Structure 1
Amino acid sequence: MDKAREALTVGEEDSRVLTKLEVRPHRAGDDASFYEGFALRGLRVETISPGYLSCSFKVPPRLTDRNGNMSLGAIANLVDEVGGAAMHADGHHMKVSVDISISFLANAKLHDELEITSRVLGHRGSYYTGTYVLLRNKTSGEVIAEGRHSLFGNLRSKI
């Protein structure tokens, strides 16, 4: 228990950095939210067509761990976001992620250029969509991760 408490304790330096973060309320249609600016900044869409999306992303320092590897949570976030975008590009309304399965196959290092492709595997009625997302090192071609992403709902935004 002491090890867990120690791991979760915020040090003086981390506390100082956190107090400088500016988190403003976000309204749809305005500038990017804190989340978008932090997690998705730098994501570039290269190709988009119904059911398919291709992006590139250079691994920034803010999404790496102490060893300079892209954090697994950041990779999972990209699978979620890019998978959802492919579903949206297929003409479906926003849905809620209900299942994400990711195979982490290699490390992405700081400043690596990633190629992220996503395609819709299919729809079951207007409620269920499945997508496949592949993250690959753009220079070496090495597969970093591959994920399957399930989304559910027939949601229409009222914003």
Structure 2
Amino acid sequence: LGLGFRVPPRVVAVRVTPWPVTSHARIVQLALRAAELMERYGALGSAQGSTGSLSAPGRAELEAGLHVDGRYLGLGYGRVTPGGLDAIARFTLDGGPPLDTGYSGKSGAAFLDLARDAAEGPLLFWATKSSAALPPAFEAGPSGLGRDRSVLRDLPRMRAFLEAG
């Protein structure tokens, strides 16, 4: 929601479902409702060292800071994309969080493109797929060692299937 930032962040929402489910207006409305709930239940609290409470951003600020990117949707909802497969491999090899082929792989591809294109400011990859604890195989050791890389064996087969279709 952009709480507590000196400069409001730019949020790039990667579309993994077709419009209008993930329209700009619908995402802004969801953010406004979440902000209202946070204010109602006191989740905003006070900023450390400030004299007042934090307040949630308004509609204009949310609209200005949100960019919905539909370039990674591919053939549609839940469909595998070559960029998603590449992101799965890259995240796995670099010790990143596990990605799936239909959803977080697409947002991972967008994240990698932003990083490669030297997007301004720090980048944060935030996948909202699940609140479940990460499996023990994800408990990274030094330099991301300890990851279960068995997913890499399936990627060539999935890519061949995509190219044949």
TM-score normalised by the chain length of structure 1: 0.25
Name the one with the larger strand percent.
1
Q: Which has the larger radius of gyration?
A: 2
Q: TM-score, normalised by structure 2?
A: 0.24
**Larger proportion of helix:** 2
